[in-house]
Amino acid sequence: MTTYTPKAGEVERAWHVVDADGMVLGRLATEVATLLRGKHKPTYTPNIDTGDHVIIINAEKVVLTSGKAERKMVYRHSGFPGGIKSRSYADMLADVPAEAVRKTVKGMLPKTRLGNAQINKLKVYAGPAHPHESQKPQPIVFEHARARTQND
């Protein structure tokens, strides 16, 4: 008996839309990374891109818990000595919320050509509108990624 390994051309890719309104950033990012990698499918293979396309809307309404928005920093480096720049997640979410969410999800993917192919299937939008209606994306809800309020 041989083990079934899917070929790259045999992979069926679905489209999912995730509403990030009120979701915790890290929990949302882990669930989205799972969808992008294809780990939710029985045909998952670590060396083949078997993941689905994911659209995240309302990225500006994502939350960080316990004051991490001000404490947690985002770093980038120019490649030159002394070229490190930092800014807090609160600043990044205020200026470019879509890029903050995208950067968080990218950190949870492999740092290889496979990871680059998987991050290209992620589309992030700050508001509720997106131009991918013709792909008929299915809404997906991650209940355990929702931020808890005082009433919960």
Q: 14-65+96-144 falls under which CATH superfamily?
A: Ribosomal protein L13 (3.90.1180.10)
Confidence of residue 149 (pLDDT cuts 50, 70, 90): low
Dump pLDDT digits (tens) for 88-112. 999 999 999 999 999 999 999 999 9
**What are the strands of the beta sheet with 15-19, ordered from one edge?**
122-124, 53-57, 15-19, 138-139
Contact yes or no for 28/57 (Cβ under 8 A): no
Report, as an integer, the average pLDDT of 123-147.
92
**Pairing mode, if any, of strands 122-124 and 53-57?**
parallel
Which is nearest to 56 in space by CA: 125, 139, 121?
125
Q: Which residue type occupies 14?
A: A
Q: What is the pLDDT of residue 145?
A: 79
* Torsion angle (degrees, nearest 10) of CA 123, 24, 48, 54: -30
pTM of the model: 0.91
